[in-house]
Amino acid sequence: MAISFDLTGKCALVTGANTGIGQAIAVALAEAGADVAVAGRSEPTETLGKIAATGRRAVNIRADLSSIEPVGRVIDEAVEGLGKVDILVNNAGIIRRDDLLQFSEEDWDAVMDTNLKTLFFLSQAAAKGMIERAQDGQSCGKIVNIASLLTFQGGIRVPSYAAAKSGVGGVTKAMANELAPSGVQVNAIAPGYITTNNTAALQGDETRNRQILERIPTGRWGRPEDIAGAAVFLASPASDYVTGHILAVDGGWLAR
């Protein structure tokens, strides 16, 4: 049997796809053949245009994912626009930085709610539809969560982010265990240091930027497109026997 990365006929929902990693993933899924809905707070004009340029359908869903309030509506609008959701990519996330002894409850809750709580309940809602369409012995859905190097490490000045991303790793495995018998594969990608808005402060800090580059074996920051290939793999039939895995795409950071 030929190994296939083809997503023709598949429908994907990507959160936080306005820029950066989410945008790169949404466009890559479209290039692989999927129709794509994008959900988030900001108007994803550029992303929608890039998806449309591939010839695939693009659906815009405006939703504030800092709480679970819009979860049901997001799934409903994706299904209404595309007909189904075969692939869910939970990319939306925020980060708050402060010294440990000064870190506030507000910043803790904001990060945990967006990065972990909404991720779980959106996955739960999407999985219900995937399972309803399941056929015996066949993969019926893919959930791809965006984890982090801080799924494995503690980081500096980002305790709630480290906690949430560690939770993403655990939830990914827990969901994989329960959903695998129904034909849904759940995996995560742990990006390394990628040039996005979330890492702008680190890129702009001469000392930290140098320290980071000195540890990365490939000698460069990652690009959003470096994550997109992994997402296409985990969304495609090529990964039908992969579930509960956290794939680090980090230029070798964790190997050093």
Annotated catalytic residues are 161
Query: Taking each helix axis from N to C terminus, what angle separates 20-31 and 224-235, rounded to the nearest 10 degrees?
Result: 50
d(CA 65, CA 4): 33
Residues facing residue 40 across a β-bridge: 62
User: Hunting for tokens 């980081």 — which residue is that?
Assistant: 155
Residues facing residue 144 across a β-bridge: 89, 187
User: Hunting for tokens 């494995």 — which residue is that?
Assistant: 152
Residues facing residue 35 across a β-bridge: 11
253 in Cβ contact with 192 (< 8 Å): yes
Residue 197, C-beta contacts closer than 8 angstroms, at least 6 positions apart: 19, 20
Instruction: Return the closest-CA partner of residue 246 out of 198, 174, 187, 168.
Output: 187
d(CA 108, CA 105): 5
Q: Which DSSP state fits 67?
A: S
**Size of the chain, expressed as the number of residues it contains:** 256
50 in Cβ contact with 27 (< 8 Å): yes
